[in-house]
Structure 1
Amino acid sequence: MKTKLLYLVLFLLPIISIAQEVHTVDNRIGTTALFNNVQDAIDAAAEGDYIYIHPSETNYGNISIRKTLHIRGLGHNPELNGGEHAKLSNISLDIDSVAGTSGSDSTISGIETATISVSAANTISDLQISNCYITIRLDLINSVNTLVNGNIIDNSEIRFGPIQSGNIITNNIFNWTNVSSSVNLINGMNDTNIFSNNVVLIKDTSNIFRNSNLPVVKNCLFLFADDANSPTSVILENSTVYFQNCLTFSYGGQTIDTLNGINNLDNVNPQLEDLGTPEDPLFSYDKDYAISVGSPAQNAGEDGTDLGIFGASFNFIMRGYPFDLPYPTSINIANPIIQAGATMQVELTAEGN
């Protein structure tokens, strides 16, 4: 990590060294952003541009992406702004047959959204969805080579469709509690896709995999809560799953059914850094899901790195800061008392990855 002392000018955007244009969006009254509506910014943007959505207590609603764009928020739990962050209801990705463009190659990072939906009619490829907080559903209906990493996926399912290959779901936290019986954590995933280095926190008896045919599942932690509603297996419905280098453990002392596969650690405490006292795996921002030194899960992955979200040398960022933006950690007003028309000097301390 490196620390920078910066003057605050238009909310960090001049810090980003990119050739594309940056379009800023803020729906709060009295701001200096270029747009107050995200869809207006998207419509005005050229392919490859960045859309930076400012934190707000008001949801920005639905957006449709039909060209290659890079959507950025400050993070889904930033240290500053009183916890405010950019929230959307639905992000849909499709093609624009008139303009000859599509949402393929787009990136989405640092926001909270209820759903992200890939077109049910057209193939979208090479998406990256990282460091987001997803609360209802991720629809990869016709998706090729999509990378989903660094996210917190809270009681949300990932649904695959008829066109799917090369999708990688890796280094995410899945919080699986009190889910509708019609919802499945992974639905319809086939053997061309990878599910790796995820931490799945389980309290609910709904399916983990449904209608899934031999997806590659490796280096994952399946951790069960100390609760009467917690199941005693990684529940599969109409699915064949082969687990490799995965771990199961129940914090309530139940014996979890042995995983089908090789090199798995069944009913072994992963010894995570901090799950509170008494230990409770269910998601909270103040917990630390890193593997402790000396844990059986340390360097136990197929690739020789740790199981879970920090495996494969991944930098999991609990607050959801985008990888390509510095994030502010403190603000100091150097001259808090100024005359009308004078310049206020604001010093911003930010950290970058």
Structure 2
Amino acid sequence: MRSLNLLFIFFITIPTIFAQEIHTVSNNPNIPATFDNLQDAINQAKSGDYIYAHPSSTTYGEIEITKSIKLIGGGYFNNANQYDGLASKITEIRISPDADQTTIANCFIDNMYFEALGSSNTDFTALIIEHNYIGRIDFYPINSNFGGDLLFQNNIITNTVFNNWSSISPSAEFRFSTNILGRIANAKGSSILIKNNIFNPVLALNTTALENINGVFLANNIFYGYEERNSIGINNTTGSHFYNNLCYQTKDSFNNGDNLQTDNINDSNPLFLVQKNSFSNLSDIIASNFRLQSGSPALGTGTGSETANIGIADSSDGNAPFDPAQNYAFPRVNSVQITTPLISNDQLEITIEANYPSYTE
């Protein structure tokens, strides 16, 4: 265990303190919580509330999010000494444009849908999807309109599909950053940024990483082919910008296709520190280490800064490096102490001591 000491300082100037609530959910009989049904907890929550969904052998089923919440799971992959190796599993998440500023993290999700269908609001604003395993993501626009600000970072996503898509709103920004991806299909528009990811299409039970892509910006990505069985999908991609990407053992190269190509690296081993087989399943991904060995052609050859790397281990240009084996965890509070006397309109100092379980325990 690592000792975690937190100091919270509250400014007491009015009698009432407004705070976000924390709701706990568990359908695991060994872990007590306020709710045993995740949708009930979401319905009860106010905008901005936190919901913690504990790992369980039973999925939390299908849920719909129509408000701003912070949904945090207990991990998409745990060791046997962490929650008995269980994960926080959700069969399906449907997200409406009214779920602005929602964060979803640390869950094992079979399907995720962003739906603007039947809504006059087509903007998904300030959504963060991070550190999840997601089987498939589908985007459904209304009248071909889809906007907002969405960040996907530090996820394992096997399949991402833009459905009935003509183009994305010019004011929108879709960012896929430091993820492990299987396939992206039907993405169109210069507002889609795909940067510092690893593509392995075998994850999607596919042989092509990119399908029907137009006008998209791709930089610092690694396209992994494994014994030349798979391809980038460069001939399925038009009018897109490829900057400082690397491919290895793919059937195609960056030299093909009708795209803008700058400083890409063809057929070069990225030299990961540890690679388990073709890392085509979750267990092999967890057993791998995607940091780069000394001498890797992906070190210092990315775009964005002089020290930018290609791949998911890059920390330059605002990137969050991704270690798939490192889970979020719930701090366990041991004690709460008021450390100073309180005088009217003064500061209240509270020390919370907790243990934070590391992944390697």
Query: Normalising to structure 2: TM-score of the pair?
Result: 0.75
Long gaps (5+) in structure 1 = 8-14, 96-101, 177-184, 329-346
Corresponding residue SS for 1:290: strand
CA distance in 2, matches of 1:114, 1:89: 5
Aligned equivalent of 1:152: 156
- Structure 1 pair 174–43 and aligned structure 2 pair: CA distance change class (3 A): same
Aligned equivalent of 2:85: 83
Corresponding residue SS for 1:41: helix
Aligned equivalent of 1:34: 34
Aligned equivalent of 1:221: 222
Contact 1:113 1:133 in 2 (8 A): yes
Aligned equivalent of 1:113: 109
- Structure 1 pair 143–114 and aligned structure 2 pair: CA distance change class (3 A): farther
User: 1:207: how far off?
Assistant: 4.4
Aligned equivalent of 1:99: none
Corresponding residue SS for 1:145: strand
CA distance in 1, matches of 2:321, 2:140: 24
Task: Encode CA deviations 1:44-79: one digit per residue, 9 max, x unaligned.
Answer: 111100010000010101111111000000111123
Letter in 1 for 2:214: N
CA distance in 1, matches of 2:210, 2:42: 35
Aligned equivalent of 1:350: 357
CA distance in 1, matches of 2:296, 2:126: 35
Letter in 1 for 2:267: N
Contact 1:90 1:116 in 2 (8 A): yes
- Structure 1 pair 236–43 and aligned structure 2 pair: CA distance change class (3 A): farther
Aligned equivalent of 1:24: 24
Query: Normalising to structure 1: TM-score of the pair?
Result: 0.76
- Structure 1 pair 62–311 and aligned structure 2 pair: CA distance change class (3 A): same
Aligned equivalent of 1:247: 246
Counterpart check, 1:94 vs 2:90: no
The within-5 A match list for 1:245-324 is 245-250=244-249, 256=253, 258=255, 260=259, 261-276=261-276, 280-283=278-281, 284=284, 285-303=286-304, 304-313=307-316, 314-319=320-325, 321-322=327-328
Identity over aligned pairs, percent: 25
The within-5 A match list for 1:181-220 is 185-203=184-202, 206-220=207-221
The size of the alignment, in residue pairs, is: 301
Letter in 1 for 2:216: P
Corresponding residue SS for 1:239: strand
Question: What is the root-mean-square deviation of aligned Cα atoms in Å?
Answer: 2.9
Of 158, 170, 176, the residue aligned with 2:177 is 170
Contact 1:144 1:163 in 2 (8 A): no
